[in-house]
Chain A
Amino acid sequence: MNVRQLWRERNAQLVVAAILIALSVIGWTAMGQKPFIRTLLSGLTLGALLFMVAAGLTLIFGLMDVLNFAHGTMFMVGAYAGWQFYTNPTFLFGLAPLVLASITGLALTPVLRKLSMTWSIPERWRRTLGALLIVGSLVVGLVSVLGLDIKGLAETAMVPSMVAADPLQEATPQEPLATFWYRPTLALLAGLLLALAQARPGDRTQVVHREEVNRGLALAGGLFVLTIVATLVREAAPLAVLTLNANVRFVLCLLVGALIGGGLGAVVEMGLIRPLYERPIFQVMVTLGLAFVLTEVIQVLWDPLPYQMSRPPLFSQPGKADSLLAWFSEHTTTVDVMGVTFPSYRLFIIVLGGVMLLGLHLLMKYSRLGMIIRAGVQDREMVEALGINVERVFTLVFALGAGLAALGGIGAAPFIPVEPVMGDRFLMQGFITVVIGGMGSYSGAAVGALLLGLARAFGDYLALKFSLTPAISEASTVIVMAIVLLVRPAGLFGRKE
């Protein structure tokens, strides 16, 4: 009875586990221990990366029904942001005041709506006014960065290696505050104009409530303080970061990459996705468009070249550690794992993926936010009817998903090239992972990522061994997807609709 119940509830997990164990035994005996372990570890590394992309994708789709084509871009943005922060954060700190200032303006949308909805503007002028405001916002935004050497800021991190050079000299001095102050001010104005356009002045049919206005004011207040702080520490902060121990800087860059990705996700959700919940097709188009735009922006700033972020000293001491235990004192580039020499940083990626899964699991299982997300995946309307502000939850989940993808990007940056197309590569794989795992299930995404990663790695091995075309390993992911979908059309952990 108990066995039968266990089977009914967990049949997908059990079948996957059984297949993996069977394949492992076959692989171990047929391939021999060393090649098997090497391939297994490669598969796990790739699986960990795929999971980081797919986890956010599946959460966002499950809860909000948004197919986020910009998710790969978040991965890429995370990689670039983290790479910048690690190598030379001048660019990030130089632009932070402008970005924060414009978001502050945008955050005031509900306040402006309240103020402007009673203006008497003839119906036929409203559209024109909206368009004018958007153009005005763009012009003011452009003026605010006019003469600012953004490309120069971006290039500060493009020096070949920071190891030999003195980092303090690489941090270029920024504009003095006396001439800089008008830039964030104009950025704030640009944000305000855009907010006013969104507020649709003169449209009395809108309903604005005190709660919304208060939320907007509180958010804008917090952002305003951040803007001022960011303006004041523009020059001191990069220097301070660069004098930090490189390992500490690496940990910080993981955090910063994730935060920037998360912040970008929050802004995208509030600015682009939220107005379009009634029109899902437009959402898909807007995320696709955003992916193109951000990729182009990155290309303009850093050229379409691949960069390699240097590994932190923790993973780059010459030599090979004889065991995992020895690595903890030696911090070598490679580690001996059961007779196989494997890069220590890739092991770190596997661990990072595992930590992320664990953290996500704890969040989903034991926090109130996780409870709301799990409930919302099933019945969004009822969650709203309980008095829970679903919009805020949507923003949080979008930010969380984008943050996870960005963390994956920066995690991957030290061993895959940092380039504008890196996101697209992972996005398609991420979608396949989500489909295999079942839309909306993060544990499904984990299993899907594991399956894909292993299929890819063992596919590569087979292709090499039997001198088949390498396309075999590319196709292996799709083959896995086809098999899973034939057996379970809703994915491994998906619920039937």
Chain B
Amino acid sequence: MSDILTVEGMQTYIGQFHILEGVSLSVPRESITVLLGRNGAGKTTTLKSILGLTPPSEGRVVFNGEEIQGKRAYDIAEMGIGYVPEHRAIFRNLSVGENLKIAERKNGDLERRSHFIFDLFPDLKRLYHLPGDHLSGGQQQMLAVARALVPDNQLLLIDEPSSGLAPVLIEQVMEAIRELSASTTVLLVEQNFLMASQLGENYIIIDEGKSVHRGAMEELVEDEALIQQYLGASVSKAGGER
């Protein structure tokens, strides 16, 4: 059992829109896997469907050997999946400390992990008592990642951590993700191809709601034609705001 997560033929409707028309992927343990694809290809929906926020109508999602499709999102998260949504969705009306505290699943989670978290993001310790909306964009992104590290998560779903951040901050976030991938598995959605190619060990390309390609990142970097076919637009804009 080397894959922590396997998805087979996942289909998802949002309202009457058929967003995912068959996504299959697998995420090996203790690695970073990157979901690539154009805007609107269905990458975010893929993460949300795995977590049950937009429940898939068909297909299988297997986490740690257990089928989780159709479960409630909170039950799925409880099994050990952390989610870092795009646009730095922290709780702006809660303090930094509360943003971390709310992610506890057992009493004392934060205390146990605080060393690890504040080593990774020293800023957050300083800002602990400030309300979330006083934080800068980069600090908010770090808080969103840190929040997912409070409980014992075995898999982190991270959605576009670089979007809207200045290059120097992207560097910092990348470093943090690389560091934490030593102990957890990461499934990452990333538009910034440079960042994706440097972080990811494996990739999955999603196009028009279907997973169309997967493999090792090293091979993809060499394959200009493939990149051009599925990612052309987003590569040329790499690093910029969407």
**CB <8 Å contact, B91 and A378:** yes
CB-based contact A390/B91 at 8 Å: no
Chain B positions within 8 Å of A320 at CB level = none
Interface stretch of the complex, out of B65-73, B110-118, B169-177, B184-192: B65-73
Partner of A209, one of B53, B71, B77, B85: B71
Of A371, A382, A389, which is within 8 A of B85 by CB?
A: A382
B153 nearest in chain A by CB position: A387
Contacting pair A384 B94 (CB below 8 A): no
Of B26-34, B95-103, B208-216, B221-229, the segment with at least 4 beta carbons within 8 Å of chain A is B95-103
Question: Chain B residues near A371 (CB, 8 Å)?
Answer: 94, 98, 101-102
* Residue pair B94, A387 in contact (C-beta under 8 Å): no
Of A207, A383, A387, which is within 8 A of B105 by CB?
Answer: A387
- Out of B51, B70, B101, B105, name the residue touching A385 (CB < 8 Å): B51
Whether A386 sits at the interface, judged by CB under 8 Å, is yes
Q: Is the CB of B89 within 8 A of A382?
A: yes
On whether the beta carbons of B94 and A374 are closer than 8 Å, the reply is yes
Which DSSP category, helix, strand, loop or mixed, fits chain B's interface? Answer: loop
Nearest A residue (CB) for B150? A386
A interface, size bucket: 20 to 34
The answer to whether A388 has its CB under 8 Å from any CB of chain B is yes
Give the residue of A209, A375, A381 whose beta carbon is less than 8 angstroms from that of B94.
A375
Q: How many angstroms from the CA of A486 to the CA of B76 in the assembled complex?
A: 45
User: Is A384 within 8 A of B89, CB to CB?
Assistant: no
Count of chain B residues near A, Cβ 8 A: 24
Q: Using Cβ atoms and an 8 Å threshold, which residues of chain A touch B70?
A: 207
Separation of A211 and B78 alpha carbons in the complex (Å): 11
Q: Is B53 a contact of A387 with CB atoms below 8 Å? A: no
Cβ 8 A contact of A379, one of B71, B77, B91, B103: B91
B236 at the interface (CB under 8 A from A): no
- Given the known interface contacts A384-B53, A385-B53, A385-B83, the answer about A378 and B102 at a Cβ–Cβ threshold of 8 Å is no
Collect the chain A residues with CB atoms within 8 Å of residue B93's CB.
Answer: 374-375, 377-378
Q: For B131, give the chain A residue with the smallest CB separation.
A: A9
For chain A residues 234-293, which have a beta carbon within 8 Å of chain B?
none
With beta carbons under 8 angstroms apart, the residue of A209, A372, A389 that contacts B102 is: A372
Residues A384 and B77 in contact, CB atoms below 8 Å apart: yes
B78 with A387: CB separation less than 8 A: yes
| B105 surroundings in chain A (CB, below 8 A) | 387
Cβ contact within 8 Å between B74 and A384: yes
Set of chain A residues within 8 Å of B85, measured between Cβ atoms:
382, 385
B74 and A378 within 8 A (CB): no
Give chain B's interface residues, CB within 8 Å of chain A.
51, 53, 70-75, 77-78, 83, 85, 89, 91-94, 98, 101-103, 105, 147, 151
What are 29 A-B pairs at a CB distance below 8 A?
A207-B71, A209-B71, A209-B75, A371-B94, A371-B102, A374-B93, A375-B91, A375-B93, A375-B98, A378-B91, A378-B92, A378-B93, A379-B91, A382-B83, A382-B85, A383-B102, A384-B73, A384-B77, A385-B74, A385-B77, A385-B85, A386-B77, A386-B83, A386-B103, A386-B147, A387-B75, A387-B78, A390-B74, A391-B72
Shortest 3 CB-CB contacts between residues of A and residues of B? A207-B70, A387-B77, A387-B78
